[in-house]
Structure 1
Amino acid sequence: MSDRSTLCPEDRLRHFGLRPTRQRVALAELLFAKGDRHLTVEELHEEAVTSGVPVSLATVYNTLHQFTDAGMIRVLSVESSKTYFDTNVSDHHHFFIEGHNEVLDIPVSNISIGNLPEPPEGMEIAHVDVVIRLRRKGAPDCSGN
């Protein structure tokens, strides 16, 4: 059980301390079946409905947050209105392609983070997320720059 990626959905849920309910198992199957990916609540809900999994948007939202709290996935906030759930919980960073709402992984070895500020007393840095925003060359800059 050392490699979580080879676990069946029920065993994966148990490994992370979650009871394998029918809806959790179905959502875990959809979420992890295609390897590492970045999905919004709405995208996973659409996949579930298309696959015949009877689940509400609220249930998908709650389940993804349960998976996050358990450490199965991590949250990636790219824009204030858009949150992605990342099935790759290893240390890595992201490219975000503006206008296409596409997130791509950057291996952590490709970025060096230095000169971080000292955290306040009694605190420690848990994680550093780097999101590099991209746009197609020649695309208009809508920010006025």
Structure 2
Amino acid sequence: MQKIIAKNIYATALFFGLSLLSTVSNALEFEKAKVKINEIELTVEYAKSFEQRARGLMYRKELCNSCGMLFNFSRPRIGGMWMKNTFIPLDVAYIDEQGVITDILGMQPHDLTSINSSTEVLYALEMNLGWFAKHNVKVGDVVNVKIPNK
């Protein structure tokens, strides 16, 4: 009888622990950053922590025309993005330490292929697929980034 009670307590604790973890991960909050590309000013979500970068735009079913997410890699490195659990086709612009766009690459929903930058970068900016072309933003253009608390 004691073993049954202990198993039930363990199962209940495990259930509530997993439920709490799921709630916390779904409630991941993103600050806002401002970016200016050419004459276009945007306010985008800002992913600065490992957890935020790992979540990115996963699970979203839509993204407004001028919405996006800026990823801060903390230090220059080869950037890599993939589309696990991402439903929206996206473009990613990789941006180096000087603010120069080094690559603009398209990504398709649920593709697990890592889409890497061609050189070390500090940021990645994800927007709807085709956004950069539609706004005549090209490799070599400069992005002015204003991040929170800086």
TM-score normalised per structure 1 = 0.29
Question: Does 1 or 2 have the higher relative contact order (CA < 8 Å, sep 6+)?
Answer: 2
Q: Which structure has the bigger radius of gyration? A: 2
TM-score normalised per structure 2 = 0.28
Normalized per residue, the structure richer in strand is 2
